[in-house]
Homo-oligomer: A and B are copies of this chain.
Amino acid sequence: MPSHERERKQVGRKPERASYEFADAAAIIDEALVCHVGVVRDGAPVVIPMIHAREGKRLYLHASPAAGLANDGRAGAEVCVTVTLVDGLVLARCGRSHSLNYRSVVAFGRVERVTDDGEKRRALEAFVEHAAPGRWSHLRAMTAREVREVDVLALDLDEFSAKVRTGPPLDSDADRALPIWAGIVPLGLVPIGPPVPDAFVPDGVETPDHVAAWRSDQAAGFVARPS
């Protein structure tokens, strides 16, 4: 491993906000619905949003044979996978102290294409269960052709860092005496309306719990918000 691979996961800016614990990174990865995958093409960076899922140390990326990253994956491309959850606006008393509360993970490594049929099917199940836990058992089974039509890439989570900002703005004591409202606006990626069935759901098929109550623990905070 070249020296930059040992060092690049180190958080340079505000290292007190960093964690190198797997459990911290895993929780952030599991909550995020998309990740941003960086690769180098023709010497230049390319960053693409992708759907992911995690099984243990294995991070799966949902690719398509038509997409460039699937080709990169076949070649064992080096990638950087970053996930970011925005948790709130941090509104301070001067421009300098404004920030966001967030949780992020940056992971480095080489992707490989998943060719084992069993692992590929487990990964495809993991993509669905990652987005909507409890859904897979409701679905029509995938055909062999459908499994072939998807590319799954895998990255082992060996080299990563997590970074978290929480809490109020960090204004100076002098600024805190000013008559300016400061604090946070807590944010989350939550349902902004009820589930919308498509036009073909037969009569008598009710909205299942895994849809109606999707992350309802988080959404409940919104409903309770006073106006």
Contacts and interface: CB of A to CB of B under 8 A. Distances in A.
A69 B64 CA distance: 31
B49 A96 contact: no
A10 B87 CA distance: 33
Q: Is the interface of A mostly helix, strand, loop or mixed?
A: mixed
A132 B222 CA distance: 19
Contacts of A171: 198, 200
Nearest to A168: B198
Contacts of A188: 189-190, 192
Interface in A180-207: 180-202, 204-207
Interface residues of A, number: 111
A64 to B, nearest CB: 5
Nearest to A82: B47
A142 interface: yes
Contact of A13 (B64, B128, B204): B64
Given A34-B100, A51-B99, A95-B146, 8 more contacts: A8-B42, A36-B36, A45-B80, A49-B104, A95-B139, A171-B198, A180-B201, A183-B197
Give the 8 A-B CB pairs with smallest separation, nearest first: A38-B45, A176-B200, A38-B47, A168-B198, A193-B225, A192-B221, A36-B36, A183-B197
Interface of A: 2, 4-5, 8, 12-14, 33-34, 36-49, 51, 64, 66-68, 78-82, 84, 86, 89, 91-96, 98-100, 102, 104, 106, 108, 124-125, 127-128, 131-132, 135-136, 138-142, 146, 149-150, 168-169, 171, 175-202, 204-208, 211, 214, 218-219, 221-222, 224-227
26 contacts: A2-B42, A4-B41, A5-B44, A34-B100, A36-B38, A38-B46, A38-B80, A40-B40, A40-B45, A44-B108, A46-B80, A46-B106, A89-B131, A92-B139, A94-B146, A96-B150, A132-B185, A176-B200, A177-B202, A179-B202, A183-B211, A185-B191, A186-B192, A187-B189, A190-B222, A192-B218
